[in-house]
Amino acid sequence: MFKILVIGIGENVLSRRQKELICGCGTVFGTQRFGTLAEEAGVAAEKFLPITPLADSLGAMAKLLEHETVAVLCSGDPLFYGIGKKLLDRFPPQQVEFYPALSSVQLACSRFKIPWDDARFVSLHGRSPGHLPTVLLRHPKTIIFTDRANSPDKIAARLLEYFQTIEDTDYGARITAMVVADIGLATENIFTGSLQQCVDTTFSPLNIFCLLLPQQPQTDVPVCSLGLGEETIAHSRGLITKNEVRAATLHTLQLPTRGVMWDIGAGSGSVSIEAARANPDLTVYAVEHNRTEIENIKSNIRKFRCFNVVPVSGRAPDALTSLPSPDRIFVGGSGGSLQQLIEIAKDILPQTGRIVVNGVIAKTVESAPRLMRANNFRVSTATVAVSRTDSEGNTQQFNPITIITGTR
């Protein structure tokens, strides 16, 4: 059986063993920057083929394997965010052999002089990441594989824009950005600085990007992922979804581990904050038209460092037009636009999506199920009546809330 030899290259130098492996192959695939190395190993120019477009090269490999062994040259460890997975998806494991070198992450961290066993790894190569803070600001140390569309300077600019939105430029200014470009080449260079300095710098597209978040204790923030008390969440005039109702609402939403949620009429953002804390890969758009409440939402984002919450100042449905499509919609306050919101939900939610409306007044409790059914949702309702008794035996009762759920 002819095989594919996947040869990882570390610092742009081939070892004797690698040269021997390459010379034993009929054809060699790689990016243009590996062409010189292949030539040094004795590969004729016509036997060195581009690895991209990948679909074409995989097809060519399949034909060549009928009569010869081929080599694939790649950076570092091909099974660490590399081409290895694509090759194993296409060819049986017994036909693919791997010869890894030090990965680009290992080399980068040796340049940064930081350990990498406690890092989170994110690949933005050829991907649309959505809300970047959700992806990049949930771990103290994140190492990022970039591309031209998601270069370090562009990433830094988007993060700074978000910190301006939530009015937390101080935290953003204390994030350390580290970039090593052209590892192993004569043009290798290392950058360490602030996000703003990163924005003002141009980098070679061959780079590894690292973000180090400021380490400061949060002594005033509960360690629980779910179960924040009303007293810990900034809100106005007692206008906040009560703890027990919030818990029932989040349970009813059946939030996915990742995706997008709209919180319409978000108020103080209590539902958004709890949803975001419990599901750090979920991006929550907290839509609110009241300026004071928007400030409360921003304050809660800063306090709880829920950078996967995006405050959206405006009134639905107009404020929804620029948002990414949701997997879940929660309506805490419709502002008189409930019919329009349910019609939007019908058109935009995926088959597995759901809309949840909390009804406080009788009109909402009556109209929401009817409107959902008219828009082909299956409807269920649950009424939550909260009564609290303190340690001294004093009882406090709250108005019942009806939770109306629409599913496909």
Please list the residue range(s) of the chain that carry CATH number 3.40.1010.10: 4-102
- CATH, domain range 105-212: 3.30.950.10
CB atoms within 10 A of CB 350: 12
Which CATH fold would you assign to the domain 4-102? Cobalt-precorrin-4 Transmethylase; domain 1 (3.40.1010)
Checking DSSP bridges between strand 395-397 and strand 387-389, what pairing results, if any?
A: antiparallel
Angle at 276 between CA 271 and CA 277, to 5 degrees: 105
- Quote the pLDDT of residue 128: 86
Tokens 């036909």 — which residue? Answer: 95
Question: What does pLDDT average to over the chain?
Answer: 95
What does the alpha-carbon distance between residue 205 and residue 327 come to, in Å, rounded to a whole number? 34
- Quote the pLDDT of residue 129: 86
Please list the residue range(s) of the chain that carry CATH number 3.30.950.10: 105-212
pLDDT in tens, 39-50: 989 999 999 999
What does the alpha-carbon distance between residue 357 and residue 364 come to, in Å, rounded to a whole number? 9
- Quote the pLDDT of residue 176: 98
Q: Are 358 and 403 in contact, with CB atoms under 8 Å apart? A: yes
pLDDT in tens, 78-124: 999 999 999 999 999 999 999 999 999 999 999 999 999 999 999 99
pLDDT in tens, 156-185: 999 999 999 999 999 999 999 999 999 988
What does the alpha-carbon distance between residue 84 and residue 101 come to, in Å, rounded to a whole number? 13
Confidence of residue 248 (pLDDT cuts 50, 70, 90): very high
pLDDT at 10 over 90: no
Span 331-359, average pLDDT: 97
Q: Are 308 and 163 in contact, with CB atoms under 8 Å apart? A: no
The full DSSP string for 91-136 is S-GGGEEEE----HHHHHHHHHT---TT-EEEE-TT---SSHHHHH
Q: Please compute, for residue 143, the number of CA atoms within 13 A of its CA located in the half-sphere on the CB side.
A: 21
Q: For residue 299, give the amino acid letter.
A: S
Please list the residue range(s) of the chain that carry CATH number 3.40.50.150: 230-407
Answer whether CATH 3.40.309.10 is correct for domain 230-407. no
pLDDT at 374 over 90: yes
Higher pLDDT, 377 or 240: 377
pLDDT at 37 over 80: yes
Which structure tokens are listed for 217? 């204790």
- Quote the pLDDT of residue 138: 92
286-317 core/surface letters (b: 16 or more CB in 10 A; e: else): bbbbbeebbbbbbbbbbebbbbbbbbbbebbb
Tokens 């009813």 — which residue? Answer: 252
pTM of this prediction? Answer: 0.90
